[in-house]
Structure 1
Amino acid sequence: MAEFDTIRSAAGARAAQIDEGLRAHMNKVYGTMSVGMLITALAAWAIAGLAVTTDPSQAAAQIGADRYLTSLGYAIYASPLKWVIMFGPLAFIFFGWGALMRKGSAAAVQLGFFAFATVIGLSLSSIFLIYTPFSIVQTFLVTAIAFAGLSMFGYVTKRNLSGMGTFLMMGVIGLIVAMIVNIFLQSPVMMYAISAIGLLIFAALTAFHTQEIKNTYVAYASHGDQEWMDKAAFDGALSLYISFLNMFQFLLMFMGDSE
């Protein structure tokens, strides 16, 4: 009996240790993601401020009444460079991030994530040319509330969401193809349909990735490889960051007030 009590006590202590480690791991995931979002927001705001002017003497192109693109703005939004800015981050996710996770150190993965967030800020800066600042902030807050609820659901639910993964990733690929096609079609109806479907897909991915991050930690916590766990935290932060960012952009299509 004494031996059984000892085993049970050891198991309880181990479970408590895993729970404590999981909380620290999730805090690191959310903290890294939050820093990434802050970097993106600051980069987008700063670039938009440099890209648009009301001074005709500094204008490279006119975009509205008393609003002009500077030379920097023209290069980002109107020159062929815009395609690099648009598809560069996507190429990094599909071809660069996996290699960085396999071969890079935890510090290199973290740096790669923050660099990615900066480039996304460059791409996202165009929203300040299209939507009012109030509607951008309002949509961000709504996205944050929805994201928190969805992520909490993914964390606490007992339902296994792993079966959704393949289906959702196929949906993301289909969504990317549809968005590329609509670049040439320029169909408002198709864009709203893409936004609605994309919002549902990335809402589901938020819950899915949260559960996946939790389960990955629990499965590998006993290995004691802190370097790998740090990289896993940054990988999880990137997954949630992408879900949040896409939810925000798709919601902005419905909630944003045009300049």
Structure 2
Amino acid sequence: MEHNEYQNTMDVSIKNEAIAKQQATFISKVYMWMSLALAITGLTAYLCANTPALLSMMFNPVTGKATFLFYALIIGELALVFSLSGAINRMTAGLATAVFLFYSFINGMTLSMIFLVYNMGSIATTFFITAGTFAIMSAYGYYTKTDLTKFGRILSMALIGIILAIIVNIFLKNSMLDLIISVVGVLVFVGLIAYDTQKVKEIGSQIGESGQEEYTKGAIMGALALYLDFINLFLFLLRFFGGRK
């Protein structure tokens, strides 16, 4: 009897250890794809901001207002994200990877505008603050024993509220509402980093039994979620730490 209990305990321990290793391997792949996408976005944004001919195509040189090309890129970004999220099961792993990396490139083009608004020092400072915050919250999401699912639902609803408030404030131009949106935005994406990391970890414990195609597509979707969390947290923090030109 004691021998059977000992054997069962050993079996459970070995199984848990295997799952933990599987999760760690999977999330390392997710971080790799996310880091690559961030590098592409950052490099593209910097190069575009320092290419006058390209900038003049996205922003009117006289008025500084966005051109048709800039709005087309924004629409293209949204189309790529929705197609990747909604149709990834019908894509090959190679196509899903290409769409994700192309999205990070297009996003870099649209984010080039931050180099026109903020000075380089404050952009770098905000990036490092974002990276530190991301690392802390992602580690929390990975190691915590608390189920963050219910918080994820609340944060998702809050995100919808932020989007609606931003649209409304485009017309109101209310500085107090803008401040509230910025504060809530930071809190929401700080929470989403922990929630999405935990979700990616759970996927990692299940996806190991799938083939390489599904494994890669799962890693791409996890990378997309964390990439979006990072970028949006960076943009909201830039409202506080960004020194305008």
TM over 0.5: yes
Structure 1 unaligned regions, length at least 5: 54-68
Higher relative contact order (Cα pairs below 8 Å, separated by 6+ residues) = 2
Measure the CA separation in 1 of the matches of 2:229 and 2:242: 19
Measure the CA separation in 1 of the matches of 2:207 and 2:197: 16
Within-5 A mapping of 1:112-191: 112-191=99-178
Q: Deviations over 1:199-223 (max 9, x none)?
A: 11111000000011111222343x3
Deviation at 1:11, TM superposition (A): 3.9
Within-5 A mapping of 1:205-220: 205-220=192-207
Deviation at 1:118, TM superposition (A): 0.7
Measure the CA separation in 2 of the matches of 1:4 and 1:193: 57
Deviation at 1:188, TM superposition (A): 2.8
CA contact under 8 A between 2:42 and 2:108: conserved in structure 1? Answer: yes
Deviation at 1:171, TM superposition (A): 1.4
Measure the CA separation in 1 of the matches of 2:232 and 2:19: 32
**Segment drifting more, 161-170 vs 177-186:** 177-186
Q: Which residue of 2 aligns with 1:92?
A: 80
Q: Which residue of 1 aligns with 2:226?
A: 240
Deviation at 1:233, TM superposition (A): 1.1
CA contact under 8 A between 1:52 and 1:73: conserved in structure 2? Answer: no
CA contact under 8 A between 2:59 and 2:70: conserved in structure 1? Answer: no
Q: Which residue of 2 aligns with 1:15?
A: 16
Go from structure 1 to structure 2 and tell me whether the alpha carbon gap of 1:167 and 1:91 turns closer, same or farther (over 3 Å shift): farther
Go from structure 1 to structure 2 and tell me whether the alpha carbon gap of 1:120 and 1:206 turns closer, same or farther (over 3 Å shift): same
Q: Which residue of 2 aligns with 1:44?
A: 45
Q: Letter of the aligned partner of 2:36 in structure 1?
A: V
Identity %: 34
SS of the residue corresponding to residue 190 of structure 1 reads helix
CA contact under 8 A between 1:202 and 1:243: conserved in structure 2? Answer: yes
Measure the CA separation in 2 of the matches of 1:51 and 1:128: 12
CA contact under 8 A between 1:155 and 1:210: conserved in structure 2? Answer: yes
Measure the CA separation in 2 of the matches of 1:168 and 1:89: 23
**CA RMSD across the alignment:** 2.3
Measure the CA separation in 2 of the matches of 1:194 and 1:51: 32
Measure the CA separation in 1 of the matches of 2:219 and 2:65: 34
CA contact under 8 A between 1:206 and 1:243: conserved in structure 2? Answer: yes
Q: Letter of the aligned partner of 2:140 in structure 1?
A: F
Q: Deviations over 1:126-167 (max 9, x none)?
A: 000000000000000001001100111111111110112222
CA contact under 8 A between 1:51 and 1:74: conserved in structure 2? Answer: no
